[in-house]
Amino acid sequence: MSKLFITFCGGILFTFLLPFVANGKEIKVPFKDIVINVNFTTGKLSQVFEIVEKQTSLSFVYDENEIDLSRQIKLKQGQQSLYSVLKSVSDQAKLRFTQKKNIILVISEPSPAAAQVKMDVQEKPPVSGIVTDSAGTPLQGVTVSLKGGKMAVQSDESGKFTIDVPANSVLIFTNVGYKTLEVPVNGLNSLTIRLTRSREELSEVVIVGYQARKRTDLSGAMSEVNVAGISKLPDLSVDQALQGKVPGVRITQNTGQPGDGVIVRIRGVGTINDNNPLFIIDGVPTKDGINFLSGNDIESIVVLKDASSAAIYGSRAANGVVLITTKSGKSGKAQISYDGYGGFQTHGDLPKMTNTSEYVELYNEAADNDNAGVTNPALIRPKIPSGLSLPNTNWMDAIFHNGRIESHQVSVRGGSDKVLYYVSGNYFSQDGIIINSWYNRYSLLSKLQIKLTDKLTLANNINVSYSKKNMIGSSGDGYGGNGGSVVRYALFRTPAIPVFDSAGVYSDLPQYPAFFGDGYNPVALAKFTDNKETEYRIFGNVYAEYKFMNNLRFKSDLGIDAIVTESKRFDKNYGTNLRINNPSRLAVGTTNNMNLIWNNTINYFKTFSGKHQLNILAGTEAIANKIHFHEGTDRDFPNQSPQFRYIGNGSGLIGSTGATESQSESALFSLFGNVSYNYKNLYLLSANIRRDGSSRFGPENQYGTFYSGSAGWNIHNTQFIKDHVPQISKLKLRASYGQLGNQEIPDYGFVSIIGNKYNYPLGDPQQSNPGSTVSTRGNPQVKWESSTQADAGLDLGLWQDKLSITFDYYIKTTSDMLIPVPFPLIGGSANPPYLNAGKVQNKGFETEINFSNGEHKLKYTLVGNFSALANKVLSLSNGQPIASGRIDNNYNATLTAVGHPIGSFYLYEQEGIFQSDADVFAHAYQGKNIRPGDVKFKDQNGDGVIDEKDRVFLGSAIPKFTFGATANLEYQNFDFSIFFQGQYGNKIYSQVNMDIEGFYRPFNITQRVFDQRWHGEGTSNTMPLVSFRDASNNKYPSSRFLEDGSYVRLKNVQLGYSIPENILKRIHVKRLRVYVTGQNLWTLTKFTGLDPEMNVSDNVKKDTYGGDVAAGIDWGTYPSARSYIVGINLSF
């Protein structure tokens, strides 16, 4: 890894220094010193210009109305100076040549009668001016060309330009993302040009399928993200910034812990395995997260959602593709930019818990309820004596605090016609809103493109990052100390226990009577957490592109994604009698994850007769992955100080140290091709085919062939629409169909794995003998999982796309789903093999509406998107459902079954509270200890008994609808944006409430239980009586703990101000903008937990199935933060 690191760092240094060398002044070579080879004796003037341009770096500029290119010219054949060639042409054609850098201006000699007029034109000063956007900001790189001629220049970093053209000419101003403008010169020497943005041109070219394509030529379902809006947001993570911005894409955080990842789902959940999309960054694929990217480095983001768009990327694209292109160099003077912000983060609304007096009242009420009818003194629960002087601790306030957040980035961007470069460095730091959680990241992006010749281009894109974080327990039950959720224990801990005891030591339970419950001191748990993870990552590629001719190109691209993750966790021994983490434990591990990617593509594109456009792409892809893991452990440290937390410093007792190591490798090889046809920009056809080979399958099923096709009709380009409905600027119908593969199972899934470290008594039952056995069963017949998708869509634009609407309807069916199917225990306890034994369907629609008005002083853009999704399991192995979502008392909260969504909640349904003995006797038999005040469960099958057969499906964690809405406003130098995001129809099972409202331990109680509890007939029909005994079944997994996870959240509000240009000129600054931002400021939800946005899919009980099959269970998850930030954007 060290050699790789040094090599790539050297590449970065080379990238950084070369542009400054390459930006030297251009040397003007006299015509007499330039030698060319003339291969004809008589030819057209155009042929003369052509051979000069091919053999030199010079270009001819002329007015086609004045120069006769078909005029016959006689020349000497062979090598001669450029001066002699042009002198001969000048004498024969009466032309004058003037060199300006690499441009040769060609002017027709005037006749004697017109000499004076022509002299006036030639002596006229050149036309100069400045080009700005609608806000008055100078635009660099705008092409200024002569209409009908070949003369063209570009505006500089200040938006200024100078061009030599006749007085009666017309200039054309073009720039990507802006409307083309034609301006008559009319004899003027100075022009001020203002360009307005065009949504159609902004998204005219997108990078898809290993090549750049015009959006108007595409017929697949894709969404392009407004990167300008994302770049204004504080740089938490690129994938978080996508949340709510793309229809059909749902993004949720794992937890709110700093540095934690997110879950991305495109068009639903198609399998019980990996549902993550494929990210492709500057042509390099990855599924290992994109936290290393800075939002300020992003140039474009395109999300591919249907089979037609994604099929070219093969087996890893079955769950969709996110294409990210980072910024590259631009021709012109170096532009230096600084983007930075700082602020603080705090928690949102917290659950309201009882205070000490309320807790004492509830506890004593529970004791009265539990003691009723008890005659055995040993079974009587003692009550909390009155008059005790008890503390009143708010444990939620004790673990939360305000966390600092900041980011700083400096970038340099520039280049020449031969060399383009972009270099940026970013520092990001975030303190968590729970004490002792933090994340720091350093990253460096370096991009260099060199045009060695007119045909050969070399480039490299390198991103090196380093990050480190301290992770407290953020989800899961984990009763073993640091493994548990700090939030969970803060909810458990009663207010009658102080944070510190009288000696100033963190309080612990043995000092207090049993009626104050159990659990760990959450403040001590957070403070003593030493669980650090460090990541080193090199991500990037080098490539060479060769143009055999203008319409035939070959590209070879070698990519790398190398990740080294170092973990170090020390579980400190603390507490009364050192009962917590006894003995202390240290675990130190390293994971090396190496991915090498080699792509080769050849691309042919040509237009025939001005009507038929043909684009053909063929290529190969080879991917090799190797993961190596090793970990060492040690126990019982006599000295627990940080400087002694190393392997070997434990007690040294036998069995106190240990080591594990593993390694796996996998590979993919693919052949792929694409053919696209466009007839008169009216009818569009596209077809993809790809053959993938994966090492994860056996020889008989190693290869899979996948395909897709799409068609589009640009109705707005028909003559009828142009003549009769000019209000329609865009109307496209799209349709696609295709199949993709999925190989996301563990490496070596087709073979059984033998494991050692297994002991078995042979003969003497008191003596174990070491041996080996099958630890994981393989299946040599396992094959590709396939996903078939059909899509129909509409793109509509009105009034030059001021109003634009997209709509898509899709059906996606996953077949031969890869499922780990457990063997009967008689076959042993090995990990189960994967079988192709299931089918899942996702269908739905998605739409986006965009309205913009940029022609008035108040400019605004309104964007809204809405998606609907229905998920259903169509078949499973032998129809056998999959139980998952393990919770307390060995219950499963979810069941994946035919006819229902993946991971549906399978629970008892509460239909009220028993109000009297008569009510208990009249109801189905629920148990012998049921009494008034207990939960009444519904007898679903009417057999008179409440048992497992009465559990029913009550929803899932998959939302039925997702949506987002954005408003952007600009007035003079002010800009304002506001963004809402939400989802509807998903459920969350609150395991935390099951623990603290189930009353089987003396934990703290929520305020809603205190207010709504049953304490006599007719007092409540929702909350049972308070009781700490187990006999009532009140803690059964039921609808009582299932909550509506729908929410609407104000995700971001921002107000910015750009300093006027006339002020900035005085201090030689190009742009200076300051802004204030608030994030996660308000949430509307019925969910009673900390945060409905969390993914809460952590499979804390480690059963066979996790992920989406066990999603939606809240164990006390670290919530997302509310942020208040001030920032600045500065460029020179």
229 pLDDT tier (thresholds 50, 70, 90): low
* 531 part of a folded domain: yes
Q: What is the pLDDT of residues 175-186, one digit of tens each?
A: 766 778 888 887
- The pLDDT, as a whole number, for residue 834 is 87
Pairing of strands 222-224, 298-304: antiparallel
What is the chain's mean pLDDT, rounded?
85
Mean pLDDT calculated for residue range 754-772: 70
Q: What is the pLDDT of residues 911-955, one digit of tens each?
A: 999 999 999 999 999 988 899 999 999 999 999 999 999 999 999
Contact status, residue 935 vs residue 1040, Cβ threshold 8 Å: yes
User: What's the rounded Cα separation, in Å, for the pair 363 and 494?
Assistant: 11
- The pLDDT, as a whole number, for residue 484 is 62
> Which residue matches tokens 């035939």?
552
Contact status, residue 1017 vs residue 932, Cβ threshold 8 Å: yes
- The pLDDT, as a whole number, for residue 262 is 85
* 258 part of a folded domain: no
Higher pLDDT, 859 or 216: 859
- The pLDDT, as a whole number, for residue 333 is 84
- The pLDDT, as a whole number, for residue 27 is 37
User: What's the rounded Cα separation, in Å, for the pair 458 and 515?
Assistant: 73
Last residue of a domain, one of 155, 180, 197: 197
C-alpha 485: how far from its chain's center? Answer: 26
Last residue of a domain, one of 89, 117, 145: 117
pLDDT at residue 796 is higher than 70: yes
CATH code, domain carrying 50: 3.55.50.30
* 236 part of a folded domain: no
- The pLDDT, as a whole number, for residue 381 is 84
Mean pLDDT calculated for residue range 368-393: 86
Helix (H) or strand (E) holding 850: strand 838-853
Mean pLDDT calculated for residue range 795-817: 93
User: Which residues in 684-699 are b (16+ Cβ under 10 Å) and which e?
Assistant: bebbbbbbbbbbbbbe
| Alpha helical stretches, state H, 751-845 | none
User: What's the rounded Cα separation, in Å, for the pair 109 and 95?
Assistant: 5
Q: Are residues 657 and 737 in the same domain?
A: yes
Q: What is the pLDDT of residues 1090-1123, one digit of tens each?
A: 999 876 654 444 445 668 888 899 888 899 999 9
3-state secondary structure 306-318: CHHHHHHHHHHHC
| Alpha helical stretches, state H, 998-1057 | 1007-1012
- The pLDDT, as a whole number, for residue 515 is 60
Q: Are residues 154 and 74 in the same domain?
A: no
Q: Is the peptide bond before 583 cis (omega within 30 degrees of 0)?
A: yes
Q: Are residues 633 and 721 in the same domain?
A: yes
pLDDT at residue 462 is higher than 90: yes
Q: Which residues contact 666 (CB under 8 A, 6 or more apart)?
A: 624, 625, 694, 695, 696, 747
745 pLDDT tier (thresholds 50, 70, 90): confident
Last residue of a domain, one of 82, 98, 117: 117
Give Cα separations from 182 to 185, 371, 872, 1071 (angstroms): 10, 91, 56, 27
Write down the pTM of the prediction: 0.81
Mean pLDDT calculated for residue range 648-655: 80
115 pLDDT tier (thresholds 50, 70, 90): very low
Mean pLDDT calculated for residue range 211-219: 68
Containing structural domain, residue 163: 124-197
Give Cα separations from 82 to 74, 76, 79, 96, 1131 (angstroms): 15, 12, 9, 14, 43
Q: What is the pLDDT of residues 77-94, one digit of tens each?
A: 887 888 888 888 888 888
User: What's the rounded Cα separation, in Å, for the pair 947 and 938?
Assistant: 10
368 pLDDT tier (thresholds 50, 70, 90): very high
pLDDT at residue 276 is higher than 60: yes
Q: Are residues 42 and 179 in the same domain?
A: no
- The pLDDT, as a whole number, for residue 123 is 43
* 830 part of a folded domain: yes
135 pLDDT tier (thresholds 50, 70, 90): low
720 token code pair: 């009828």
- Give, as one character, the DSSP assignment of residue 580: B
Report how many domains make up the chain.
Answer: 3
- Give, as one character, the DSSP assignment of residue 149: B
Contact status, residue 447 vs residue 461, Cβ threshold 8 Å: yes
C-alpha 663: how far from its chain's center? Answer: 28
- Window from 3-12, 631-640, 827-836 with minimum mean pLDDT: 3-12
User: What's the rounded Cα separation, in Å, for the pair 109 and 118?
Assistant: 8
456 token code pair: 């050969």
122 pLDDT tier (thresholds 50, 70, 90): very low
* 917 part of a folded domain: no
Q: Are residues 102 and 136 in the same domain?
A: no
- The pLDDT, as a whole number, for residue 614 is 92
* 444 part of a folded domain: yes
Q: Are residues 35 and 150 in the same domain?
A: no
Q: Are residues 694 and 571 in the same domain?
A: yes
Q: Are residues 780 and 633 in the same domain?
A: yes
Backbone angles phi, psi at 372, to 5 degrees: -60, 125
The sign of the CA dihedral 1033, 1037, 1038, 1040 is: positive
- The pLDDT, as a whole number, for residue 20 is 38
Backbone angles phi, psi at 607, to 5 degrees: -110, 125
User: What's the rounded Cα separation, in Å, for the pair 178 and 191?
Assistant: 18
Q: Are residues 35 and 157 in the same domain?
A: no
Q: Are residues 154 and 53 in the same domain?
A: no
Helix (H) or strand (E) holding 357: helix 356-371
Q: Are residues 757 and 657 in the same domain?
A: yes
As a whole-number percent, the residues of the chain with pLDDT over 70 amount to 86
* 254 part of a folded domain: no
CATH code, domain carrying 192: 2.60.40.1120
- The pLDDT, as a whole number, for residue 548 is 92
* 561 part of a folded domain: yes
As a whole-number percent, the residues of the chain with pLDDT over 90 amount to 46
Kindly give the interhelix angle for 45-55 and 82-93, rounded to the nearest 10 degrees: 160
Higher pLDDT, 87 or 514: 87
763 pLDDT tier (thresholds 50, 70, 90): low
Q: Are residues 715 and 838 in the same domain?
A: yes
Q: What is the pLDDT of residues 41-81, one digit of tens each?
A: 888 888 888 888 888 878 787 766 678 888 889 888 887 88
